[in-house]
Structure 1
Amino acid sequence: MTDKVCLTNIIEKRAVWKQKIRYIMKHKPTGNIHVVHYFLAQIERKPLKDLSIVFSNEHELVSSDQYIGLNDKNDEEIYGGDVIEDPNGIRARIVYHPEYAAFLACYVLNGNFKFEYLDKLIISRCKIIGNIYENSGLLENA
């Protein structure tokens, strides 16, 4: 194996380990919400039912969201579907926009939807206030 092929394999393996998924599950009998996080490599190695009890028939999938690779000002991981708030109180939902092939902040300004690219400087000033699956009212009156 050449050094280039070996390096490519190492980079691909590291990329798989860094891809993190958040599963939001609802317990059918009680309606309680459960949140679990797994790296893509963990999911590929075992059946989901063997990873956690929340993948049983008593639970239903509400959402599966990807970690976007950035943390908020409190060093909390940000996932698609999260709602963040900037220092001015403006709230935005984190969404994946396929046209831009990127995660963006989506918010409403003067009745129009706006999309903004995310970067470490912007996110370092924002905080996660929740996600739309556990608290659907986060974006009301925002």
Structure 2
Amino acid sequence: MDIVIRYIFKHRATGNIEIKIYSISQLEERPAQKLSPCFNETDYELIARNLCFDEEKGVFVGDVINVTTWFGNYIASVKLGEYEQDGSGDEYEPSKCFGFYAEALNKKITDEDGFEVVPEYLVQNSMLELESYKRIGNIYQNPHLLKEEAR
């Protein structure tokens, strides 16, 4: 298994966003500046470096995903770090965890019958525990996704 990293660059002159994806083995084979002109700090600014959670679906930290559960669908952002996980439905105290997790952007969303789609104990949820999800985009090329979905 090779670790995959997504680099997000901003071209200093034009403001265009460039995305480059490399595995650790590719980065070890040759200097980064030989992989892409984006690694030239004079022309490009590195604005993010994200680890890949799901290479098959192309999901990285900083992506916005549509999560499908039996409660309904909701929008979340993919994060890496410490979070509290409680799969008991508030029966037990949440456990402190570290890893990839999805954090609901609109925690107050309800279904057509007025029931919560994202119960409080699922606001932060391990990516491994998600039943189904689909990548919508990333926050660097689509910053509006965070603003629109958080309403």
What code does the residue aligned with 1:105 have?
Answer: A
Instruction: Deviation per CA, 1:15-65: give whole Å up to 9, x if none.
Output: 4xx100000111111111111110012212322111111111201101110
Report the TM-score, using the length of structure 2 for normalisation: 0.70
Equivalent positions of 1:67-78 (< 5 A) are: 67-68=52-53, 70=54, 75-78=56-59
**What corresponds to 1:80 in structure 2?**
61
Report which of the two has the higher share of helix.
1
Question: In structure 2, how many angstroms separate the alpha carbons of the residues matched to 1:20 and 1:120?
Answer: 21
Does residue 64 of the first structure (1) align with residue 49 of the second (2)? yes
Percent identical among aligned pairs is 30
Does residue 104 of the first structure (1) align with residue 104 of the second (2)? no
Question: In structure 2, how many angstroms separate the alpha carbons of the residues matched to 1:106 and 1:97?
Answer: 11
Runs of 4+ in 1 over 4 A off after TM superposition: none
**What corresponds to 2:127 in structure 1?**
118
Contact 2:67 2:130 in 1 (8 A): no
In structure 2, list runs of 5 or more residues that go unmatched.
84-96, 110-119
**Number of equivalenced pairs:** 120
In structure 1, list runs of 5 or more residues that go unmatched.
1-14
Question: In structure 2, how many angstroms separate the alpha carbons of the residues matched to 1:89 and 1:118?
Answer: 15
Tell me how large the CA RMSD over aligned residues is: 2.3
- CA shift at 1:121, angstroms? 5.7
**Structure 2 vs 1, CA of residues 98 and 128 (structure 1 numbering), >3 Å: closer, same or farther?**
same
Question: In structure 2, how many angstroms separate the alpha carbons of the residues matched to 1:101 and 1:86?
Answer: 20
Contact 1:91 1:139 in 2 (8 A): no
Question: In structure 1, how many angstroms separate the alpha carbons of the residues matched to 2:142 and 2:11?
Answer: 16
What code does the residue aligned with 2:107 have?
Answer: L
**Structure 2 vs 1, CA of residues 86 and 50 (structure 1 numbering), >3 Å: closer, same or farther?**
same
Question: In structure 2, how many angstroms separate the alpha carbons of the residues matched to 1:44 and 1:120?
Answer: 33
